[in-house]
């Protein structure tokens, strides 16, 4: 089926144990995106929320109601999970910017400094102690093609994945998947 700005330095910070990051006192490089999405997959697999899924591919569109169906959210959110940048070897390969209001973190943004990294940017938006939005931009380049992917996820609301693949011979293909939970 178709499917205030504060620079946080060298990439390491210490956080409290909540939706914003790792356990207090632990040395980390980045937010644990893989852990966040693993929890979301478990929650969504258990709840199986109803919603509407719209898939577009090369100009054709299909809308599917997600009522009483068993959705494998591990597969649905695999692109988000594979965009995790929390690797020790990448500590100095991403710039980290954050926005805070008082003691509350409002946004963390990771921007790739190395042109060869697939995940170009991750933007995390918080409300209080809870992660309310994840936005990810990916790019893959090879000798024969280049693809871009933009993804967004809002817990409880839904997610969207949009992509374009361009070949060196000039053709391009676009796709998008969006899910709105009811």
* Distance (Å) of CA 156 to CA 31, 72, 82, 159: 20, 16, 21, 9
**Cα–Cα distance between 134 and 131 in angstroms, integer?**
8
Three-state secondary-structure class, residue 104: strand
- Convert the pLDDT of each residue in 86-127 to its tens digit: 888 888 999 999 887 777 778 999 999 999 999 999 999 999
Note whether 7 and 100 are within 8 A (CB).
no
DSSP 25: T
Q: How confident is the model at residue 11 (pLDDT cuts 50, 70, 90)?
A: very low
C-alpha span between 5 and 97 (Å, rounded): 7
Using CA atoms in the order 152, 34, 13, 139, what is the torsion angle rounded to 10 degrees? -50
Q: How confident is the model at residue 29 (pLDDT cuts 50, 70, 90)?
A: low
- Whether residue 8 has pLDDT greater than 90: no
Query: What range does the domain containing 47 cover?
Result: 5-181
- Joined together, the tokens standing for residue 136 give 């990810």
Count the helices and strands in the chain (H runs, E runs).
3, 10
Number of domains the chain is built from: 1
Please state the pTM of the whole predicted model. 0.81
Element (H, E) at 135: strand 130-141
Which pLDDT belongs to residue 19?
A: 45
Beta bridge partners of 175: 57, 163
């Amino acid at each position: 089926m178709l499917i205030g700005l504060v620079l946080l330095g060298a990439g390491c910070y210490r956080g409290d144990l909540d939706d914003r990051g790792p356990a207090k006192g632990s040395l980390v490089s980045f937010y644990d995106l893989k852990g966040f999405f693993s929890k979301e997959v478990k929650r969504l697999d258990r709840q199986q929320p109803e919603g509407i899924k719209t898939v577009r591919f090369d100009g054709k569109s299909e809308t599917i109601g997600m009522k009483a169906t068993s959705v494998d959210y591990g597969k649905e959110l695999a692109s988000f999970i594979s965009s995790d940048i929390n690797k020790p070897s990448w500590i100095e390969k991403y710039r980290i910017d954050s926005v805070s209001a008082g003691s509350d973190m409002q946004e963390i943004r990771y921007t790739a400094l190395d042109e060869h990294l697939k995940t170009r940017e991750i933007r995390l938006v918080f409300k209080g102690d809870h992660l309310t939005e994840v936005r990810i931009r990916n790019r893959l380049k090879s000798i024969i093609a280049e693809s871009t992917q933009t993804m967004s996820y809002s817990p409880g609301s839904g997610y969207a994945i949009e992509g374009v693949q361009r070949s060196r011979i000039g053709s391009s293909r676009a796709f998008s998947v969006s899910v709105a939970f009811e």
